């Protein structure tokens, strides 16, 4: 079954058509200034809602970021902090900070993250390993730390009297008035870390911190992790001129995780009380958050199989606790951050996938459901704001279409309909002000980069923060006439569920001509590729289409934002339904009169690299050539939390692990194959590539390879990205043209 969708949006500045097109090149796609324009990043409201702060790259160096503001009163943009004025040398990152940034997907130089104080008078940001305190009244930055060590994960205390941070695996608080530092832990070092998130918490649970302030500033909850149970492995990073060896404690699937403890330390005397996490020690601490009562801490306990999760409430004064919510699943439980405690200290909002789709529920502290707030065969993405005074919740969701994110509101206590506040025809990333009166709307489409506007909470336009208008001065303007709007549609999977696809075609298809196709795939969990949103990668697809290729993308079962029922078919066996669904996509492509069925190739990175190998090895009659980037090849080499979530424990699903690896199928390779990998990848280790190299060589299967010395999993850098995409293009040109 096939259905074609048409997406239109009228709210953004129109695309110019009166410009003569320049030919798009790979070199230009990855050069500065970026073709997406100057839309700012990390946008935040000040607590009083009178300012919008953001990071923006320098005009001469777009990868070096400064801190800016838009003042809503005088409607002006101004530079708050010039990162180069504070530090102009080369930033030397610690290994811990390099790893943390990789986990956060933070790339660049200068100011890369910042935090507002709750009173709205100051901002806090790290730079070159030290912390800076910027006071709005004076307009000056004060250096808070000046040590050889890196201070990371810095936070304001709720009342703004302290700044907390991690230094050398210990937790500190600095009193701003006196400058006095308080060591809240002293035993950190080696395998012991205080207030820090372990590897799988950062990479797989999206928990980047290990400590949390109580609202009255009297105490901090924190984790103590002991990495000693995790087996130490030697990991190499191959650079152009040297090989670095690291003794890394990496929790390979089926092996030991860190031991995690949860404590509460009082600020006045540094006394620590430990929370009883139960007799079972092989668990995950997924989340922690104080309630509106500064004596009651919530934390989310998850068992090793990730099939059970408990929301527990701990009274720090009485040192008692109870379980408020218990969730179980026959497959796995997705984690989320949609827990909001109400000011009445009696109720909270909680998200659950109990009916197969993520929705919001109003509950009391005993765990009783008072009201289901949202419902339907669509998903809530995240809570954006809760306006208790007016009884309204604002959330991002996919109620109208799975291809676009929109802002909605729904009554908190009264009955009422869900109302959409953003316009259809674009993808909206929104930030709602604390008072829920305005929101920042970063809107984009597949062929239009983000424009950032300020809007009243009803969605009405107030002003542009960055229109990013596609006029003659815009870097993309010379290429606009040749941009291709892709065709969207749906295909039916074997179980009847609908899958979304996207098709980039050359602008003018010659009658009777057959065109080669490149299937771009990711295919794995917690990712979605077919959306009506701007991604830098789309420019490469535009380039390929302009070179005479058709680019096809299909979000197979197992991918995200479609509900748990759409995800569950991959449980206990990876690379099965995903491959079947991609074959279904090729069968559809073969019905198109302009597609050459003998020249259909596949290309993907990470899980997409895994999919490229699995399709080339298992479906060689459908895919004539493939490019596999940084692929997982052996799930036994990947980490516990991710792998066991989908495959279970190796001891109980050995057959599933063996059949989900690429090696049993390598002997069936028929067509040309290119594999590339970063040689300093600390996520999908380079070993994944070398293992498949050896298997293919043992089977006397010829293939091509490209390796990138010093590159991590994301293969960042202008020259690397340019070289990589020229290599991929050359590969398909040689075999398809």
Catalytic residues: 606, 681, 713
Q: Are 254 and 634 in contact (CB under 8 A)?
A: no
Residue of 461, 431, 462 lying closest to 46 (CA atoms): 431
DSSP states along 246-262 = EEEE--BTTS---EEEE
Q: Are 575 and 582 in contact (CB under 8 A)?
A: no
* Residue with tokens 């995200």, as numbered in its chain: 560
Question: Can you read off the two tokens belonging to residue 346?
Answer: 């009696």
H/E element, 134: strand 130-135
Q: Are 675 and 666 in contact (CB under 8 A)?
A: no
Cross-strand partners of 223: 262
* Residue with tokens 């999760």, as numbered in its chain: 309
Q: How many helices and strands in the chain, by DSSP H and E?
A: 12, 45
> In the β-sheet with 140-143, what is the strand arrangement from edge to edge?
115-116, 122-127, 130-135, 140-143
Q: Who's near 71: CB < 8 A, 6+ residues apart?
A: 50, 51, 77, 78
Residue of 30, 37, 27 lying closest to 57 (CA atoms): 37
Cross-strand partners of 127: 130
Question: Can you read off the two tokens belonging to residue 694?
Answer: 């050896």
Residue of 310, 321, 229 lying closest to 275 (CA atoms): 321
d(CA 225, CA 211): 12
549 in the Ramachandran plot: left (φ > 0), alpha (ψ -120 to 50) or beta? beta
636 in the Ramachandran plot: left (φ > 0), alpha (ψ -120 to 50) or beta? alpha
Residue 418: strand, helix, or coil:
coil
Neighbours of 375 (CB within 10 A): 12
d(CA 41, CA 38): 9
Report CA Rg, the chain: 26
* Cα four-point dihedral sign 611, 612, 615, 618: negative
Q: Who's near 126: CB < 8 A, 6+ residues apart?
A: 112, 113, 132, 151, 152, 154
d(CA 673, CA 661): 17
Residue of 418, 427, 417, 430 lying closest to 459 (CA atoms): 430
């Amino acid at each position: 079954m096939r259905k074609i969708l048409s997406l239109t949006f009228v709210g953004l500045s129109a695309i110019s058509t009166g410009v003569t097109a320049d030919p798009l090149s790979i070199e230009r796609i990855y050069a500065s200034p970026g073709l997406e324009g100057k839309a700012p990043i990390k946008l935040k409201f000040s607590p009083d809602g009178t300012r919008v702060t953001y990071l923006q790259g320098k005009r001469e160096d777009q990868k070096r970021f400064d801190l800016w503001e838009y003042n809503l009163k005088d409607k002006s943009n101004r530079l708050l902090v010039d990162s180069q004025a504070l530090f102009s040398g080369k930033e030397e990152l610690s290994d811990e900070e390099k790893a943390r940034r990789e986990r956060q997907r933070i790339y660049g130089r200068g100011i890369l993250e910042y935090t507002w104080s709750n009173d709205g008078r100051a901002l806090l940001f790290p730079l070159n390993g030290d912390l800076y305190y910027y006071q709005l009244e004076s307009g000056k930055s004060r250096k808070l730390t000046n040590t050889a060590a890196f201070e990371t994960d810095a936070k304001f205390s709720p009342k703004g009297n302290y700044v907390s941070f991690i230094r050398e695996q210990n937790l500190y608080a600095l009193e701003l008035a006196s400058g006095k530092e308080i060591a809240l832990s002293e035993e950190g070092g080696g395998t012991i870390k205080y207030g820090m998130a372990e590897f799988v918490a950062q990479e797989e649970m999206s928990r980047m911190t290990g400590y949390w302030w109580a609202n009255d500033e009297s105490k901090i909850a924190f984790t103590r992790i002991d990495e000693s149970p995790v087996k130490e492995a030697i990991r190499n990073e191959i650079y152009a001129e040297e090989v670095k060896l690291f003794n890394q404690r990496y929790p390979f699937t089926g092996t030991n995780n860190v031991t995690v403890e949860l404590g509460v330390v009082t600020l006045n005397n540094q006394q620590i009380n430990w929370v009883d996490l139960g007799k079972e020690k092989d668990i995950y601490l997924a989340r922690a958050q104080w309630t509106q009562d500064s004596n009651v801490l919530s934390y989310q306990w998850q068992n090793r199989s990730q099939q059970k999760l408990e929301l527990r409430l701990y009274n720090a004064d009485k040192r008692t606790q109870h379980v408020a919510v218990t969730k179980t699943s026959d497959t796995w439980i997705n984690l989320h951050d949609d827990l909001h405690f109400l000011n009445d200290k009696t109720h909270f909002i909680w998200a659950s996938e109990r009916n197969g789709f993520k929705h919001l529920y109003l509950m009391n502290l005993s765990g009783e459901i008072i009201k289901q707030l949202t419902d339907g065969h669509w998903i809530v993405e995240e809570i954006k704001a809760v306006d208790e005074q007016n009884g309204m919740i604002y959330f991002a969701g996919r109620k109208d279409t799975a291809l676009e994110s929109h802002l909605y509101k729904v009554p908190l206590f009264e009955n009422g309909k869900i109302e959409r506040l953003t316009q259809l025809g674009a993808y909206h990333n929104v930030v709602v002000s604390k008072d829920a009166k305005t929101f920042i709307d970063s809107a984009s489409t597949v062929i239009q980069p983000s424009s950032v506007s300020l809007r009243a909470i009803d969605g009405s336009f107030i002003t542009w923060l960055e229109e990013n208008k596609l006029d003659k001065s815009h870097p993309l303007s010379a290429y606009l006439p040749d941009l291709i709007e892709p065709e969207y549609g749906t295909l039916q999977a074997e179980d009847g569920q609908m899958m979304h696809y996207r098709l980039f075609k050359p602008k003018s298809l010659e009658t009777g001509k057959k065109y080669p196709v490149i299937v771009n795939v990711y295919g794995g969990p917690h990712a979605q590729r077919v959306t009506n949103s701007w991604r830098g990668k789309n420019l490469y697809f535009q380039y390929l289409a302009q070179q005479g290729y058709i680019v096809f993308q299909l979000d197979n079962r197992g991918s995200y934002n479609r509900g748990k029922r759409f995800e569950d078919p991959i449980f206990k066996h990876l690379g099965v339904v995903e491959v079947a669904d991609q074959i279904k996509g090729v069968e559809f492509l073969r019905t198109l009169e302009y597609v050459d069925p003998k020249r259909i190739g596949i290309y993907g990175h990470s899980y997409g690299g895994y999919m490229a190998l699995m399709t080339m090895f298992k479906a060689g009659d459908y895919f004539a050539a493939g490019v596999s980037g940084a692929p997982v090849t052996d799930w036994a080499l990947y980490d516990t939390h991710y792998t066991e979530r989908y495959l279970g424990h190796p001891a109980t699903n050995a057959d599933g692990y063996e059949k989900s690896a690429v090696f049993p199928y390598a002997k069936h390779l028929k067509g040309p194959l290119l594999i590339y990998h970063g040689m300093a990848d600390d996520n999908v280790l380079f070993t994944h590539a070398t293992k498949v190299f050896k298997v293919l060589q043992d089977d006397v299967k010829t293939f091509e390879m490209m390796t990138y010395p010093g590159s991590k999993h994301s293969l960042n850098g202008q020259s690397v990205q340019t070289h990589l995409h020229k290599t991929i293009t050359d590969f398909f040109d040689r075999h398809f043209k």
